[in-house]
Amino acid sequence: MSTGSNIRTYFEGRWHEGDVPIMRAADHGSWLGTTVFDGARFVNGLTPDLLPHCERVNRSAKALMLTPTVATNDMVAIVQEGLKVYDPGAAVYIRPMYWGIHGDVTAIVPDETETGFAICLEEIPFKAETTTTLTTTRFRRPVMESSVVNAKSGCLYPNNARMLVEARSKGFGNALVADAMGNVAESATANVFIVRDGVTFTPIPNGTFLAGITRARHLSNMKAAGMEVHETVLSFEDVHAADEVFLSGNMSKITSVTAFDDTQYQEGPVTRQVREMYWDWAATEAS
């Protein structure tokens, strides 16, 4: 089932109109979960950081022992070709994907000789200013020893779904998630930043969560603007004591947090500045 509308699918070397079938019942990815994907955005005629997203899906494939078959520059060109039929004002989610086809003699390990590949373009509305609320969850981010946390893999997302269902059952929009040590890692859907006394902090990457491409762009923009920002260990008490909290992810770029359990926040000047700097940078990248 699709999330958006007006879907185009690149599969077996050409573009198809619609949400076409791409997997078979016996494909390794269908029954053993060897699927990876990435997500970029086409907004206002811009595709910010499209190349890094394509690079990451190839790294994710390798992390799941799949052989990536499309060079990143070629992938970018395929996406750009597929986007030509969309209105320049359309908001499109760009999703390149790989999956395992065959297994080895045990069936468990994916065979490296053949890998499935597709790109899905899907119109999903984009709101420049979004908000959400956070609560805690009993579910935590896994570690490398138990899960492929160095990949953007479909097999990781049922855990995120459990976090979201728990948060919604408590009346909140998202979950603030701990790592295995009990420190703040990210939300169920995006990386997290907090602001205290004008200084910005975000959890330091520790191998339990993907340090996102949009997160990295915000860090780069803030440092270039001379803003004070630190990657560090954060506790849930740090989040309660913050003046501003915002999430960073590809789907909405910046999502302002208005509450964490019983702590309330207003969208502050740092959140607004980071959002404005992102789109200023995106326009510069496209020029």
Q: Please check whether residues 139 and 89 belong to one and the same domain.
A: no
**Mean pLDDT, range 216-236, rounded to an integer:** 98
- Bridge partners of 135? 175
pLDDT of residue 192: 98
Residue 2: its pLDDT value, please? 64
pLDDT in tens, 230-271: 999 999 999 999 999 999 999 999 999 999 999 999 999 999
pLDDT in tens, 269-286: 999 999 999 999 999 986
The CATH number of residue 103's host domain is: 3.30.470.10
Cα–Cα distance, 96 to 153 (Å, whole number): 12
Give the torsion sign (CA, 148, 206, 196, 248).
negative
Q: Report the relative pairing of strands 229-232 and 199-203 from DSSP bridges.
A: parallel
Question: 0.85 exceeded by the pTM?
Answer: yes
What gap in Å lies between CA 116 and CA 13, rounded to an integer? Answer: 11
Report residue 23 as tokens: 């997997």
- Look at residue 94 in the predicted model and tell me its pLDDT: 98
Domain of residue 238 covers 130-286
Residues 86, 173 share a domain: no
d(CA 190, CA 48): 17
Residue range 28-53: mean pLDDT, rounded: 96
Indicate if 222 and 259 belong to the same structural domain: yes
**134 and 263 inside one domain:** yes
Per cent of the chain over pLDDT 70 is 99
Last residue of a domain, one of 96, 123, 150: 123
CB-based contacts of 166, cutoff 8 Å, min separation 6: 137, 138, 139, 175
162 and 89 within one domain:
no
When pLDDT is averaged across residues 94-117 and rounded to a whole number, the result is 95
Phi, psi at 214, each rounded to 5°:
-65, -40
Look at the alpha carbons of 194, 196, 201, 203 in this order and tell me if their dihedral is positive or negative: negative
Domain count, the chain: 2
Helices (H), 229-268: 236-240
Q: What is the pLDDT of residue 285?
A: 82
pLDDT higher than 80, residue 30: yes
